[in-house]
């Protein structure tokens, strides 16, 4: 793929340097890149064009996932595209089989004039269907299609239709590629519009004079609260500031600009304030197959506080954040350590260095994790663009988006 490789290399570099922020932006750009990969892929003479196309996507997907393993949205989109290729291949195969049936049925007039010849059997039709998926060979013809008068009539016209068959193969190949590109375009539209169907459910969950608590800043949560405000709901929001990045300060300002009564609290005050709260609404970095949530650091503390005081803990997220992996899978990195500079400036940190030793090992260590893991037992409800779901239902929802043999994105051996 000489035309698309510079795009792949550029995006890999962006992922490594963390220049693409937010799972939504990462998911969208990954889908756009894979659409370009499919568009530029040259469909060769391979019998299984869908497998060749999927292998090209896997080759790029391996690079993207390795560039930033903690950004699970990349792997999610790669797996979604692989699932799309399989679905479109199955769909085109079904259409081909249906076309064969129509062709056989259309020969009734000819068969009525030659009743002495045996009719095509189900085995013969199945052989035709299998041959539609691979290049025909003499061995295939000998094994699957016995020589009968009915087949002889078909075989007598084979020479005239060789050119049409080749053109039909090219046409089906182009159709597969076109259908995959169209489906990826639909996936991009789904990612772009995920906030709307989620926000439409806000009026069903947020009632008059309720008190909502959230942590940090999530665009999905912001749009969710905006929608409730536009429906004339009167409610208050407690925003835990989300140290050390303090994204909660940004969300608080955005909510106030929309006329939402907002109170900023420290993260350590969550337990003290949770008794006044009717509902906790938070975003997520990823939703795992078991219903667990990877979320910004401090979220597990909020979930424990909500459980202790019987407050519903609601997670809002787009379907591109649904990950088919489990937290114990070796491909999953549950956390990432950020720079200590978020907590201490380098001047303060250098004062804590012990320069009397040869290696200058620090006396003070700073640990700055990025994410928390919230187990499914602490989650009351997931609100996605497909509706509200319990944690126990997530694995079934995820099964609709991914194929089981694509959980580990790796090129097939020998490809």
| Cα 312 to Cα 334: distance, rounded to the nearest angstrom | 24
| Cα 36 to Cα 30: distance, rounded to the nearest angstrom | 10
pLDDT in tens, 344-385: 887 776 667 665 666 666 677 889 999 999 999 999 999 999
Is the pLDDT reported for residue 281 higher than 60?
A: yes
Q: Are 288 and 252 in contact (CB under 8 A)?
A: no
- Where is mean pLDDT largest: 181-190, 339-348, 351-360? 181-190
Higher pLDDT, 333 or 168: 333
Higher pLDDT, 3 or 54: 54
Q: Which of 277, 231, 281, 283 is nearest to 258 (CA)?
A: 231
Pairing mode, strands 210-215 and 235-240: parallel
Is the pLDDT reported for residue 199 higher than 50?
A: yes
Q: What is the pLDDT of residue 139?
A: 40
Higher pLDDT, 147 or 238: 238
**Tokens found for residue 51:** 């497998």
Q: What is the pLDDT of residue 202?
A: 96
| Cα 212 to Cα 235: distance, rounded to the nearest angstrom | 7
- Where is mean pLDDT largest: 86-95, 166-175, 286-295? 286-295
pTM of the model: 0.81
Report how far apart, in Å, the C-alpha atoms of 195 and of each of 29, 122, 202, 220, 330 are. 17, 49, 11, 6, 31
Give the H/E segment covering residue 90. helix 72-105
Q: What is the pLDDT of residue 331?
A: 83
Neighbouring-strand partners of residue 382: 315, 389
- Residue recorded with tokens 């189900």: 122
What is the radius of gyration, based on Cα positions, of the chain?
Answer: 28
**Tokens found for residue 54:** 């999927």
Is the pLDDT reported for residue 249 higher than 80?
A: yes
Q: What is the pLDDT of residue 365?
A: 80
Is the pLDDT reported for residue 147 higher than 60?
A: no
Question: Is residue 239 helix, strand or coil?
Answer: strand
Q: Are 203 and 234 in contact (CB under 8 A)?
A: no
Pairing mode, strands 210-215 and 371-374: unpaired
Q: What is the pLDDT of residue 145?
A: 44
Is the pLDDT reported for residue 156 higher than 70?
A: no
**Band of the pLDDT at 42, cuts 50, 70, 90?**
confident
Is the pLDDT reported for residue 74 higher than 90?
A: yes
Q: What is the pLDDT of residue 129?
A: 47
Least confident of 32-41, 118-127, 379-388: 118-127
Q: What is the pLDDT of residue 303?
A: 98
Is the pLDDT reported for residue 412 higher than 70?
A: no
């Amino acid at each position: 793929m000489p035309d698309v490789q510079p795009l792949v290399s550029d995006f890999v570099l962006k992922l490594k340097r963390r220049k693409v922020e937010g799972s939504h932006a990462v998911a969208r750009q990954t889908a756009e890149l894979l659409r370009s990969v499919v568009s530029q892929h040259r469909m060769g003479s391979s019998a299984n064009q869908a497998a060749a196309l999927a292998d090209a996507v896997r080759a790029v997907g391996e690079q993207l996932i390795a560039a930033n393993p903690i950004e699970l949205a990349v792997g999610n989109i790669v797996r979604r595209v692989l699932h799309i290729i399989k679905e479109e291949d199955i769909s085109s195969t079904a259409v081909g089989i249906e076309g064969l049936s129509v062709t056989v049925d259309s020969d009734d007039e000819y068969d009525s004039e030659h009743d002495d010849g045996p009719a095509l059997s189900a085995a013969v039709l199945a052989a035709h269907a299998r041959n539609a998926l691979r290049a025909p060979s003499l061995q295939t013809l000998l094994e699957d299609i016995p020589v009968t008068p009915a087949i002889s009539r078909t075989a007598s016209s084979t020479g005239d239709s060789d050119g049409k068959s080749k053109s039909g193969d090219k046409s089906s190949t182009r159709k597969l590629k076109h259908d995959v590109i169209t489906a990826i375009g639909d996936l991009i539209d789904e990612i772009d519009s995920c906030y709307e169907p989620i926000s439409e459910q806000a009026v069903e969950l947020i009632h008059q004079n309720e008190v909502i608590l959230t942590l940090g800043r999530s665009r999905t949560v912001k749009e969710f609260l905006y929608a409730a405000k536009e429906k004339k709901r009167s409610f208050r929001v407690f925003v835990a500031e989300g140290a050390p990045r303090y994204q909660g300060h940004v969300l608080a300002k955005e909510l106030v600009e929309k006329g939402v009564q907002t109170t900023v609290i420290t993260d350590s005050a969550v337990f003290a304030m949770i008794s006044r709260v009717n509902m906790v609404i938070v975003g997520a970095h990823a939703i795992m197959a078991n219903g667990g949530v990877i979320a910004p650091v401090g979220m597990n503390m909020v979930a424990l506080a909500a459980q202790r005081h019987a407050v519903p803990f609601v997670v809002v997220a787009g379907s591109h954040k649904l990950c088919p992996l489990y937290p114990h899978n070796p491909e999953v990195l549950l956390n990432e350590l950020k720079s200590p500079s978020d907590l201490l400036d380098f001047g303060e940190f250098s004062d804590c260095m012990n320069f009397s030793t040869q290696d200058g090992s620090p006396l003070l260590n700073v640990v700055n994790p990025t994410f928390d893991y919230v187990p499914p037992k602490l989650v009351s409800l997931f609100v996605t663009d497909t509706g509200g779901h319990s944690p126990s239902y997530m694995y079934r929802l995820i099964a609709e988006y991914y194929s089981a043999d694509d959980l580990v994105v790796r090129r097939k051996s020998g490809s």
